[in-house]
Amino acid sequence: AQTVTQSQPEMSVQEAETVTLSCTYDTSESDYYLFWYKQPPSRQMILVIRQEAYKQQNATENRFSVNFQKAAKSFSLKISDSQLGDAAMYFCAYGGGSQGNLIFGKGTKLSVKP
């Protein structure tokens, strides 16, 4: 069975600095997708970034980028120029197999200090 592990329950970053959130996963599949979702206090789940496993190039979305290491099964999220609005829970998620559902890690709570 696939699993997703986020080893950092909480992280803190100074405004305008860079922070990296870690995620590792376990799967025997070769074709899958990885995601980072943001959940602010409003509890809405917001898709931050997505990576297709067959693509070697790391995905980027403005200030958000990933470091995808397929062999190591690692998928970290880097947030550059952190803003107060980045404060939220961040969930790493795996998508693979025929059923289409996501498997989530336990989340990392990110605080941003002014």
Partner 1 sequence: DTAVSQTPKYLVTQMGNDKSIKCEQNLGHDTMYWYKQDSKKFLKIMFSYNNKELIINETVPNRFSPKSPDKAHLNLHINSLELGDSAVYFCASTRIRSSYEQYFGPGTRLTVT
Min separation Cβ 45 and partner 1, Å: 4
- Give the footprint of partner 1 on residues 2-31 (CB under 8 A): none
Contact in structure between 8 and 92 (CB atoms under 8 Å): no
Contact in structure between 27 and 94 (CB atoms under 8 Å): yes
Q: Residue 55, interface with partner 1 (CB under 8 A)?
A: no
Phi, psi of 71 (to 5 degrees): -65, -35
Min separation Cβ 111 and partner 1, Å: 15
Piece of 14-22, 59-67, 75-83, 87-95 that binds partner 1 (CB under 8 A):
87-95
Piece of 14-22, 32-40, 55-63, 76-84 that binds partner 1 (CB under 8 A):
32-40
Whole-number Å distance between alpha carbons of 81 and 107: 21
H/E stretch holding 3 reads: strand 3-5
